[in-house]
Structure 1
Amino acid sequence: MATPTPISLEDRLKAQARQLGFAACAIARADAAPEAAARLRHWLDEGRHGDMLWMEERAEQRGSPAGLWPDVRSVIMLGMSYAPGHDPLALAAVGDRARISVYAQGRDYHDVVKKALKGLARWLVEQEDAPLKVFVDTAPVMEKPLGQAAGLGWQGKHSNLVSRDHGSWLFLGAIYSTLDLAPDTPGEDRCGSCNACQTACPTDAFPSPYRVDARRCISYLTIEHKGPIPEEFRAGIGNRVYGCDDCLAVCPWNKFAQTAAANRAFLPRAELVAPAIGDLLALDDAGFREIFSGSPIKRIGRDRMVRNAAIAAGNSGDAALALALRALLEDDDPAVAEAAGWALGRLGV
């Protein structure tokens, strides 16, 4: 009788990742994305990162895995699906309701992905006692080019990772390891001549395919940007109060994404699917913390949320929101008060 072929560490690692809730797992050499640093530097030199100064401050570490940790030999890239069970664009024409990006309607992905990554890291150390580090979004790690280098998918024309199996709906995490793991085949660009994501952007945030100008991006403007939002973008924001799904939602590869593959932690909370703009305008700090506890939205704070809601109110055409907007004209936050005044002017009341 033939001796069974031993199952490789890499295959066992991927099986364990699936058990922990990851929809995808692939491996790259630490030096597998050599062009990433130069592309990042060019993007920063053009100023397209806006107020995200941490991108500039840690550019050398972000540019390559070895820049952050010289001992790294392999990068294990993980993807956790949050494929929505509803149309992310369904509320586009519902004036009195606010739109929250799909990824933020459930539990905070930082917590969910980090917990699963730590579980996988513990398992790997039990198999091979070698140093490693885990990262989810907040560290200077180029997850998207590394995801392509590992074979999770490819960076699409909207600059986000696209998977043949999961579309545009993957949260990414990384494990840096000193082990020499067998790498997977890199992802191949399959965007072809499609430009759906480019034409879908309401604020023309793509100066060219595969490049995004954060300063024009609704996700950046509603989440990262502090102070008043430039008036030229306000009409394009529509009723979005946290993030934007448009360029992701129109990607044709999403037809292969299976809702069943999504981690249940990211199922939308009922109160975040279609919140009333009027309710968001009335939020104080305590109310904001109560509603958005356990959500990634909590990090923007009450003031930015109410600023965003005021802009959505101005775009709503709903004069019934005027009373709530007038109450914000003397708000302690100048950006909130300014947005409320702009909204009242736009509503003509």
Structure 2
Amino acid sequence: MTETPAPKSTTGRFFEDFELEQRINHASPRTITEGDVALYHALTGNRFTLQTSNQFARHVGYHAAPVDDLFVFNAVFGLSVADVSINAVANLGYAGCDFLAQLYVGETIRARSTVMGLRETSDGENGIVYVRTEGLDHRDVPVLRFVRWVLVPKRDPKSGKSKPATVPDLPDAVRPITVPRHRLNRDWDDASAGSPHRWDDYALGEKIDHIDGVTIEEADHMTATRLFRNAARVHFDAHAMKKTPFGRRLVYGGHVIATARALSFNGLANACIVSAINGGRHTAPVFGGDTIFAWSEVIEKIALEKRDDIGALRLRTRATKNHPCHDHPAEGPEVVLDLDYTVILPRR
């Protein structure tokens, strides 16, 4: 009797397949190309001059424009999806995201993750998986690390088997702050950067409406998700999504974050570097055709030791759908993103 060969393809991990302290080396390292960067800028509308102009970057001490920090975050996130969240119901949140180094076109990144926590939901249908993911460069030096937690369905909810609940302690903020080695006030040109406002000009508690809105077309978010190599089925499989309460594909949350960051240029144009994502939540789904707006609040001003050329702002940015932010909405069904992050600006 001929044995049936084992299947070559895989359906991905379900909640039962994760174990505490499990280590996963993710496949398909990627080399960042000029095309990747150009497409990212086109899809998000990113205008932060340090990342868009080689000439500007060289004037402030870099050898070339670094790759946008949120492209790196999304690229590392995307490398982890096939092993962590390809079957996910939802990506729930982020913490402790530390941007350890800046990357440049031509460099190669890979990713690895460790399972930090597991908790079944009360209905027994799903479980929450907590992972710490690291992005590493071609020298195997970590350039980014973050924690995320994701809602993953069970393969067999009726089995009766359960796992002990373990929820990790998560940091409130990333400390110490990772800062660039370059002195950013060397030949910093406010006119080219797009704003006269530097670190000294922002006040604790200040609220900034970024004013502009951008409609996320189906083609935009599908292309962006492919750019980030995020293979989660909730973003791609329209047939399967018809059977869910959403009824349609979801816009990848990382694309919403990148869009909100790009919108923040209007009011924070000199906030050229993202140093950390302290915490973040996707508070409501976004679909193709929704228009995204954003506003930010300065929740901490941080003077950096031994650096008089730069300072850090801890911001809380809320993104909304189909709701302009002149009234600074902090909660409600229109709020789709609540992001706590730290940026670096030049000082006077």
Q: Which has the higher strand share?
A: 2
Please, what TM-score do these two structures have when normalized by structure 2? 0.26
Please, what TM-score do these two structures have when normalized by structure 1? 0.26
Greater radius of gyration (CA): 1
